[in-house]
Amino acid sequence: MKIGELAKKTGCDVETIRFYEKSGLLDEPVRTGSGYRDYQASHFERLQFIRRCRSLRIGLQDIRTLLGLQASPTAGCEHVNALLDQHIAAIQSQMAALRTLEEQLVALRRQCNEPHSVEECAILQNLADRVVQGNR
């Protein structure tokens, strides 16, 4: 199949497919006599795997590692587990940071429950005060 057909089947941009090829995540296909890339079912399957990993916010280096591990089907999966454990820990850390951010924003929002002029806005005053305090 041509690159456009692969892109359509996978819901992936043509440029993204070319990027994955250049970065070594997707094997370069053989070319037809007229120079077109000729993708096989194996390209489709690998691209689906890459896209699934990306949907889980797994980075390209980790995808490369997973693909390497996948190429050794009889090896133990402890490296896969370790990689996912690291990814889970990073997501948990990001979630904690987002919860803290949410708490700060909610507390800030509670400072101005009634309509006021911008001049009297407690939120803007608080933000300005923190900037001044931070510069001291």
Indicate which CATH number applies to the domain containing 59. 1.10.1660.10
Q: What average pLDDT does range 47-51 have in this prediction?
A: 97
**Spatial distance between the Cα atoms of 57 and 14, rounded to a whole number of angstroms:** 20
Higher local confidence (pLDDT), 112 or 57:
57
Percent of the chain residues past pLDDT 70, beyond the cut:
95
Structural domains counted in the chain: 1
Q: What average pLDDT does range 60-82 have in this prediction?
A: 93
- Residue 132's pLDDT is 57
DSSP element (H, E) containing 73: none
**Assigned token pair, 25:** 């995540």
pLDDT at 131 over 90: no
**With bands split at pLDDT 50, 70 and 90, how would you rate the model's confidence at 113?**
confident
pLDDT at 135 over 80: no
Find the helix packing angle between 60-70 and 78-109, rounded to 10°.
160
- Residue 134's pLDDT is 58
- Helix ranges (DSSP H) in the chain: 3-10, 14-22, 41-55, 60-70, 78-109, 122-134
Q: What's phi and psi for 40, nearest 5 deg?
A: -110, 175
Q: What average pLDDT does range 74-92 have in this prediction?
A: 95
Percent of the chain residues past pLDDT 90, beyond the cut:
69
Domain around 55: 3-134
**Assigned token pair, 90:** 């990073």
